[in-house]
Protein backbone atom coordinates (compact mmCIF):
# COMPACT_ATOMS: atom_id res chain seq x y z
CA UNK A 1 0.00 0.00 0.00
CA UNK A 2 1.42 3.34 -1.03
CA UNK A 3 0.78 6.64 0.70
CA UNK A 4 0.44 9.48 -1.73
CA UNK A 5 0.80 13.22 -1.09
CA UNK A 6 -2.94 13.65 -0.98
CA UNK A 7 -3.39 11.34 2.00
CA UNK A 8 -0.43 12.95 3.85
CA UNK A 9 -2.03 16.36 3.35
CA UNK A 10 -5.34 14.96 4.59
CA UNK A 11 -3.66 13.60 7.73
CA UNK A 12 -1.94 16.96 8.34
CA UNK A 13 -5.24 18.79 7.86
CA UNK A 14 -6.94 16.35 10.24
CA UNK A 15 -4.25 16.92 12.90
CA UNK A 16 -4.62 20.71 12.52
CA UNK A 17 -8.39 20.48 12.82
CA UNK A 18 -8.05 18.23 15.86
CA UNK A 19 -5.71 20.73 17.54
CA UNK A 20 -8.12 23.58 16.80
CA UNK A 21 -11.01 21.52 18.18
CA UNK A 22 -9.12 20.77 21.40
CA UNK A 23 -8.28 24.46 21.84
CA UNK A 24 -11.90 25.45 21.30
CA UNK A 25 -13.07 22.82 23.79
CA UNK A 26 -10.61 24.16 26.37
CA UNK A 27 -11.90 27.69 25.83
CA UNK A 28 -15.52 26.53 26.02
CA UNK A 29 -14.82 24.66 29.25
CA UNK A 30 -13.14 27.74 30.73
CA UNK A 31 -16.09 29.93 29.80
CA UNK A 32 -18.64 27.47 31.14
CA UNK A 33 -16.71 27.06 34.41
CA UNK A 34 -16.49 30.84 34.77
CA UNK A 35 -20.23 31.17 34.20
CA UNK A 36 -21.08 28.49 36.74
CA UNK A 37 -18.67 29.83 39.36
CA UNK A 38 -20.14 33.30 38.89
CA UNK A 39 -23.63 31.91 39.48
CA UNK A 40 -22.39 29.98 42.52
CA UNK A 41 -20.59 32.95 44.10
CA UNK A 42 -23.44 35.38 43.41
CA UNK A 43 -25.88 32.93 45.01
CA UNK A 44 -23.59 32.58 48.03
CA UNK A 45 -23.33 36.35 48.41
CA UNK A 46 -27.10 36.74 48.02
CA UNK A 47 -27.74 34.04 50.65
CA UNK A 48 -25.24 35.65 53.02
CA UNK A 49 -26.93 39.04 52.69
CA UNK A 50 -30.35 37.47 53.24
CA UNK A 51 -29.13 35.59 56.32
CA UNK A 52 -27.57 38.73 57.81
CA UNK A 53 -30.70 40.79 57.19
CA UNK A 54 -32.84 38.00 58.58
CA UNK A 55 -30.71 37.93 61.73
CA UNK A 56 -31.17 41.66 62.20
CA UNK A 57 -34.93 41.32 61.73
CA UNK A 58 -35.05 38.39 64.17
CA UNK A 59 -33.02 40.41 66.69
CA UNK A 60 -35.44 43.35 66.63
CA UNK A 61 -38.55 41.17 66.52
CA UNK A 62 -37.33 39.18 69.50
CA UNK A 63 -36.82 42.36 71.52
CA UNK A 64 -40.24 43.63 70.46
CA UNK A 65 -41.84 40.33 71.42
CA UNK A 66 -40.04 40.36 74.79
CA UNK A 67 -41.33 43.85 75.57
CA UNK A 68 -44.79 42.82 74.40
CA UNK A 69 -44.78 39.81 76.74
CA UNK A 70 -43.49 41.77 79.75
CA UNK A 71 -46.85 42.80 81.24
CA UNK A 72 -48.28 39.29 80.83
CA UNK A 73 -45.45 37.23 82.38
CA UNK A 74 -44.50 39.47 85.29
CA UNK A 75 -41.28 41.07 84.18
CA UNK A 76 -38.70 41.65 81.52
CA UNK A 77 -36.32 38.82 82.53
CA UNK A 78 -39.11 36.26 82.21
CA UNK A 79 -40.13 37.55 78.81
CA UNK A 80 -36.49 37.45 77.63
CA UNK A 81 -36.28 33.85 78.86
CA UNK A 82 -39.42 32.93 76.92
CA UNK A 83 -38.10 34.55 73.72
CA UNK A 84 -34.72 32.82 74.19
CA UNK A 85 -36.53 29.50 74.66
CA UNK A 86 -38.51 30.02 71.44
CA UNK A 87 -35.35 30.86 69.50
CA UNK A 88 -33.59 27.85 71.05
CA UNK A 89 -36.50 25.67 69.92
CA UNK A 90 -36.07 27.00 66.35
CA UNK A 91 -32.34 26.20 66.52
CA UNK A 92 -33.12 22.63 67.61
CA UNK A 93 -35.64 22.26 64.77
CA UNK A 94 -33.09 23.47 62.22
CA UNK A 95 -30.48 21.04 63.56
CA UNK A 96 -32.93 18.13 63.49
CA UNK A 97 -34.18 18.92 59.98
CA UNK A 98 -30.84 20.17 58.59
CA UNK A 99 -30.68 17.51 55.91
CA UNK A 100 -34.12 18.38 54.56
CA UNK A 101 -33.73 22.15 54.99
CA UNK A 102 -30.07 22.73 54.10
CA UNK A 103 -28.14 19.73 52.76
CA UNK A 104 -30.60 18.44 50.15
CA UNK A 105 -31.44 21.84 48.61
CA UNK A 106 -27.74 22.73 48.47
CA UNK A 107 -26.86 19.40 46.86
CA UNK A 108 -29.67 19.82 44.33
CA UNK A 109 -28.57 23.35 43.50
CA UNK A 110 -24.94 22.32 42.98
CA UNK A 111 -25.90 19.23 40.98
CA UNK A 112 -28.19 21.27 38.73
CA UNK A 113 -25.56 23.95 38.33
CA UNK A 114 -22.61 21.72 37.47
CA UNK A 115 -24.18 18.64 35.92
CA UNK A 116 -26.90 20.07 33.68
CA UNK A 117 -25.71 21.36 30.32
CA UNK A 118 -28.65 23.67 29.68
CA UNK A 119 -28.57 26.83 31.78
CA UNK A 120 -31.87 28.17 33.14
CA UNK A 121 -31.48 31.77 34.22
What are 11-68's pLDDT values in tens digits?
889 999 999 999 999 999 999 999 999 999 999 999 999 999 999 999 999 999 999 9
Q: Which secondary-structure segment (H or E) carries 5?
A: helix 5-73
For the chain, the distance separating the N- and C-terminal CA atoms, rounded to the nearest angstrom, is: 56
Q: Report helix, strand or coil for 121.
A: coil
At a CB cut-off of 8 Å and minimum separation 6, what does 29 contact?
A: none
| pLDDT tens by residue, 95-104 | 999 999 999 9
CA dihedral sign, ordered 56, 58, 61, 66 = negative
pTM beyond 0.75: the answer is no
At a CB cut-off of 8 Å and minimum separation 6, what does 101 contact?
A: 94
| pLDDT tens by residue, 74-94 | 899 999 999 999 999 999 999
Amino acid sequence: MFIDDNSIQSIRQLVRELKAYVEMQKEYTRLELTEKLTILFSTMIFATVLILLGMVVLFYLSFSFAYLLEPYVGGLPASYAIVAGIIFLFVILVVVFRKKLIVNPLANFLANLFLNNNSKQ
